[in-house]
Structure 1
């Protein structure tokens, strides 16, 4: 355990976070840059005295539970989380849950594909980044609460915009089967993540279809090479589906492109102009 380096690292991470980012009121008399020590301790579920001793390089080695709480409270990236563990003399294990932190270069890639609908999916099936054409083809994800941006929950529990299968997909049964397989594999990789565990429990309780698929114990999904959407404004859109794996974040970039010169390419071009507006506005 490197007490001095750990103390400096914790202090630097604490000072960079604004109260608003941590969901705390700023208050009229705040002089400390970033968060106060007692605020970090509260967010990490440890005593202020112990956290103060960590920053003063006087504390004993923190447990893995304390390190997990500190990483959460200080909003550490995966690399920073690993560094924290190494400084504390406790080499990191696998992340406790699927990463939702999208690398900036991946965000730039998604936004530089104007003729393709592209989005980033977490290992739990949540849409965590997207470009304008993806929002136009499916729906405006920015207008949805976070729980409704999870495709696995949506395919089994809804709501489905415009009625019928989610986004009018031509293969809803196969999509549901693939989602259940992916979630089972994710649950095995992150057995201690409360969100993944809660999602599985919710789907088992509320969806007979999911419970049936879950009981099969399948985990291998065949790649989807083509997908057809039925859009309320431009009609049927058939696209090629390519998936890029971001292995260090356990994420994937899904890219939908239309065959050049096809009616679907024209439909995507029209959608890029229409955007996320709907006929009933």
Structure 2
């Protein structure tokens, strides 16, 4: 009597296959809910596909059509965090959906949209206790990890910006409110690019830094400054802003480092004159809804 032994796939392989199929189904469902008009595409009289076509998602995400098709077919292919980030933006995923996408792909989301354990409840309370003084916590990549209500209204409405887009360097190149608020915009852009290059020396090849640089290089102004290869260290400086609610503000920018390494820092903006102090008080009251 011959015994037939039925081979079974290793458990990890089965788990990976299940995740690939879940990822494929999730991408299809998110693609089908996005109307062409939402991403600036014409609907056309012959469109039968609900939502976006695969080739449209691929084009908007700057990936190959064949590669994206394989992804929706649950094929065993490698997906970089840069591609996942691009797909999340194209498909307009909210924070929970974005986290789900990265989890299904077995990847770690490197953007500030993910939870940041270094920003403790004590630090968040400190930000709020500063009251009229605009303050935030940033990392060396200019991601805004936490902020108080006054800082949220310093250059527009930061609460309305998706967490993954809350990056100072990105905002001064892409956000009209931030661009209008910064008095010395070109000088600020050049200085920030130089600081980013200096900081990036310790993070070459890291996915989050590569993702940010790829997004910034879509801006001609950034590319021009980046190609100067200038580097600048950190220092306190005077900043001027035109706030849409209270007018001109002259502030002293100070970095307060939160550890021995120059990574995360608390950034504060204290008034340089009495007029600015009064205007910050007014901005604080507005931010509190009073």
Name the TM tier (shorter chain): 0.5 to 0.7
Kindly indicate whether the alpha-carbon contact (under 8 Å) linking 1:136 and 1:276 is maintained by their aligned counterparts in 2. Answer: no
CA contact (8 A) 1:178 1:221 kept: no
Aligned residue among 230, 233, 236 for 2:245? 233
Q: Match for residue 271 of structure 2?
A: 258
RMSD: 3.2
Change in 2 beyond 3 A, CA 1:166/1:226: same
Partner of 1:123: 140
Does the C-alpha gap of structure 1 residues 237 and 264 become closer, same or farther in structure 2, counting only changes over 3 Å?
same
Match for 1:187 among 178, 200, 207?
Answer: 200
The structural deviation recorded for 1:144 is 1.1
Q: What CA distance in whole angstroms lies between the structure 2 residues aligned with 1:154 and 1:256?
A: 18
- Deviation digits for residues 137-185 of structure 1 (CA, Å, limit 9, x no counterpart): 22332321123311111222x1222xxx625212212211122122223
Give the corresponding residue for 1:246: 258
Contact persistence 1:110–1:118 (CA under 8 A): yes
Structure 2 gap segments, 5+ residues each: 1-77, 79-101
Q: Secondary structure at the match of 2:130?
A: coil
Q: Using CA pairs below 8 Å that are at least 6 residues apart, which structure has the higher relative contact order?
A: 1
Match of 1:176 among 170, 175, 189: 189
Q: Which residue of 1 aligns with 2:279?
A: 267
| Equivalent pair of 2:133/2:268 in contact (CA under 8 Å) | yes
**Which of these residues, 124, 134, 153, is aligned with residue 170 of structure 2?**
153
Would you say the 8 A contact 1:97–1:190 is kept in 2? no
Q: How far apart are residue 116 of structure 1 and its match?
A: 0.7
Shift of 1:117: 0.7
**CA 1:247–1:182 in 2, change beyond 3 Å: closer, same or farther?**
farther
* Counterpart position of 2:53: none
State the number of aligned residues: 184
Deviations 1:16-60 (A, max 9, x none): xxxxxxxxxxxxxxxxxxxxxxxxxxxxx9xxxxxxxxxxxxxxx
Is the Cα–Cα contact under 8 Å of residues 132 and 283 in structure 2 kept in the other structure?
no
Distance in 1, Cα, partners of 2:234 & 2:257: 15
Task: Assess, with a 3 A threshold, how the Cα gap between structure 1 residues 215 and 131 changes in structure 2: closer, same or farther.
Answer: same
Q: Structure 1 regions of 5+ residues with no counterpart?
A: 1-44, 46-68, 76-95
Given that 1:181 and 1:219 are in contact with CA atoms closer than 8 Å, whether structure 2 keeps it comes out as: yes
Matched, 1:105 2:118: no
Per the normalisation by structure 1, the TM-score is 0.57
